[in-house]
Amino acid sequence: MSFSRDDFTVSSEQTLWKGFFEVVDVSLRHRLFDGGWSGDIRRVVARRRQAVGVLIYDPALDALAVAEQFRVGALARNPSPWLMELIAGLMEAGESPEDVAHRESQEEAGVTLRALEKVASYYSSPGGSDEYFHLYCGCADLSAAAGVHGLAEENEDIRLHVLPVNDVLAMMDDGRIDNAHSLVALNWFARHHNRLRDLWR
């Protein structure tokens, strides 16, 4: 049995807060795998714009761009809430995911992408958020990219590291890179590394 959008009903929906994103209180019922319907279910959902991430690779250096920045959702993280992650940003009205990948690469790494390959699109954390994430791997010259980037008007303070591929994969394996989008991208990249190096060199 496969379900469709006809197999749930929303009885009420109330906005609890609206700012950078929206928090909504939803009451609903849905069909059950063994037949019949669930009881009333109440959930709080964070509604966000779609987001885009890009793992930037320089085949000449055989190196990756890794962005280091403060993340409020990681306040309890040890040793600190500064995470090592890929370049990412939210989609604006009228933009395609590819547009955002190119824009964010300029804003957060100061580089122009020469090529772009789709990795995946997926829900980031569908148990409580509707965020849909588009993930790419991009090719760029990273020889002069290391340094501090970001938009002052968005309070961005991003230190970009340009590191050998093997060093970044080791950071993934030992837990120094510990955020989902970066892990998805790096696991994909590890399988496609040789192909991309040959294709983009």
Question: Which pLDDT does position 147 carry in this prediction?
Answer: 92
SS3 188: helix
Q: What are the boundaries of each domain within the chain?
A: 5-47, 51-200
Q: For 51-200, CATH number? A: 3.90.79.10
Residues in the chain predicted with pLDDT less than 50, given as ranges, are none
**CA gap 116, 56 in Å, rounded:** 9
CB 56 within 8 A of CB 136: no
Question: Which pLDDT does position 1 carry in this prediction?
Answer: 66
SS3 159: strand
Question: Which pLDDT does position 153 carry in this prediction?
Answer: 81
CB 172 within 8 A of CB 66: no
Question: Which pLDDT does position 128 carry in this prediction?
Answer: 95
Q: Catalytic site residue 107?
A: no
Question: Which pLDDT does position 156 carry in this prediction?
Answer: 81
Single out the catalytic residue among 85, 107, 154, 156. 154
Query: pTM for the complete prediction?
Result: 0.93
Tokens of 52: 């885009």
